[in-house]
Amino acid sequence: DGGITQSPKYLFRKEGQNVTLSCEQNLNHDAMYWYRQDPGQGLRLIYYSQIVNDFQKGDIAEGYSVSREKKESFPLTVTSAQKNPTAFYLCASSIDPPGLRNNEQFFGPGTRLTVL
Amino acid sequence: QKEVEQNSGPLSVPEGAIASLNCTYSDRGSQSFFWYRQYSGKSPELIMSIYSNGDKEDGRFTAQLNKASQYVSLLIRDSQPSDSATYLCAVKETSYDKVIFGPGTSLSVIP
């Protein structure tokens, strides 16, 4: 089955801890994205990557870090510097790079992070 | 930061009726427009993409785009209770390598 997987589905973090959210895709997509969704708000872009070993900050990158060592994987680390990390985190990928018009993005199932 | 606006709803329609969801955007140069459906607690699912002015139909869904008015809409014909979800409008802007999402409109189809 082709698709995007995210793990874990639910994650609980204590104050001061770093946590890493996993995102894997077997769609052979070049571009991958991380979004954050808060209740009543649209998705906000955290980071995106167009190719391996390259990534760009989105609108709300502070307190987050990413890596793109493999085409299939784009993990997101939520650091202790992120003051309000409780949210629904969504990973997406697209076959076309962000600069092209037909930038249809497909989402994984999401990780719900709660700070205790 | 360019904006995408949607009525938050909830929009309630009876089963079998036409549901009309609206979206406006601020970047006049935007070229690509997407509609996603998101069930409660789930991730967004792409249901329609539209790039040219006019209508695009796919089954019970019709997307309508008017670039001059900076307006895109989604019509759902013969609405079913299973259509009850939040619908996200997303716009790809010309000057950014990213898609901007609206806050979503909650749709409730009443049996």
Alpha-carbon distance of A105 to A113, in angstroms, equals 22
Mean pLDDT over the full length of chain A:
91
CA distances from B59 to B23, B75, B78, B79, B92 (A): 21, 11, 10, 12, 24
Residue of chain A nearest B86, judged by CA positions:
A40
Alpha-carbon distance of A58 to B109, in angstroms, equals 35
**For B1-6, what is the mean pLDDT?**
84
Chain B closest CA to A37's CA: distance in Å? 10
What is the number of alpha carbons within 13 Å of residue A76 lying toward its C-beta? 36
Contact at 8 Å (CB) between A2 and A93? Answer: no
A82 in reach of chain B (CB within 8 A): no
From chain B, pick out residues whose CB is under 8 angstroms from the CB of A58: 98
Q: Vertex A33, ends A8 and A21: CA angle to 5°? A: 20
Residue B34 corresponds to which amino acid?
F
Residue of chain A nearest B96, judged by CA positions:
A99
Q: What is residue A1's predicted lDDT score, i.e. its pLDDT?
A: 58
pLDDT at residue B9 greater than cutoff 90: no
pLDDT at residue A15 greater than cutoff 90: no
pLDDT at residue A40 greater than cutoff 70: yes
Please give the residue that has the higher pLDDT: either A5 or A104: A5
Contact at 8 Å (CB) between A36 and A28? Answer: no
Question: Which residue among A98, A101, A107 places its CB closest to the CB of B44?
Answer: A107
Q: What band does A103 get if pLDDT is binned at 50, 70 and 90?
A: confident
pLDDT at residue A112 greater than cutoff 70: yes
- Residue in the block written with tokens 């999402």: B101
**For B74-101, what is the mean pLDDT?**
90
Residue B41 corresponds to which amino acid?
G
Chain A closest CA to B18's CA: distance in Å? 24
pLDDT at residue B27 greater than cutoff 70: yes
Beta-carbon contacts of residue A45 (< 8 Å; ≥ 6 apart): A33, A34, A35, A58, A59, A60, B98, B99
Q: What is residue B96's predicted lDDT score, i.e. its pLDDT?
A: 61
Contact at 8 Å (CB) between A113 and A8? Answer: no
Mean pLDDT over the full length of chain B:
93
Question: Which residue among A44, A45, A104 places its CB closest to the CB of B34?
Answer: A104
